[in-house]
Amino acid sequence: MSKSEQFEPRIIAFCCNWCGYAGADLAGASGYRYPANIVIIRVMCSGRVDPMFILRAFQFGADGVMVIGCHPGDCHYGKGNFFTLRRVKILKRLLEQFGINPKRLRLEWVSAAEGEKFARVVNEFVNEIKKLGPSPLKKR
């Protein structure tokens, strides 16, 4: 496979306004590099991410979905990220039963001060999805 034909995944990341998005901001401001495969969607809280958003992202051909929120206990709204944690855990099992690799969904805690962690996590995830190949739901 030549370099131009290399598989470039399309990844949706739901970032919470207070931590994940601020972390992404800091990563940009501090000059950390992370791949352009990632499309960031800002939500007010990671608890706002309805499981349907994630399923729809897969339906429309996303190769991977990331949910990035505050560290447990740091949620701006109190308990939002505890909801997300449980939803993502059940959703992973659901995806597994549907025959979709649960590694395509990832939950990460990134605080507003962790620009370096944001870049590292995104790099890791993109490399992992590149290894997994395109999503089976992708229309060719």
Partner 1 sequence: MKKKLAIVSLSGICGGCETVLGVVIEKIEELFDLVYAPMFVDSQDFSDADVFIVIGPVETKEDVEILEKIRKLNKPVYAFGTCAAYGGIPGLINLYGLDETVVEIYKNRTKSGLVPSRDVPKPLKFVDLVANHVNVVSFIPGCPPLVDKVPEFLEAVAKGEKFVLPEKSVCDVCPLEKKGKSEITRILLINEVDPNEIDWNRCLLEQGILCMGPATRALCDAHCPQRRMPCFGCMGPISEKMDQGASALKAIASVLVNVDIEEIKKKLKDAVGLFYKFSLPSSILKHKWEDTK
CB of 45 to partner 1, least distance (A): 13
3-class SS of residue 112:
coil
Q: Which residues bind partner 1 (CB under 8 A)?
A: 50-52, 55-56, 58-59, 79, 82-83, 85-87, 89-91, 93-94, 97-101, 104, 132-133, 135-137
Contact of 132 with 45, CB cutoff 8 Å = no
CB of 125 to partner 1, least distance (A): 16
What is the C-alpha separation between 29 and 14, in angstroms, rounded?
20
Residue closer to partner 1 (CB basis): 73 or 133: 133
Contacts (Cβ under 8 Å, ≥6 apart) of 120: none
Residue closer to partner 1 (CB basis): 27 or 87: 87
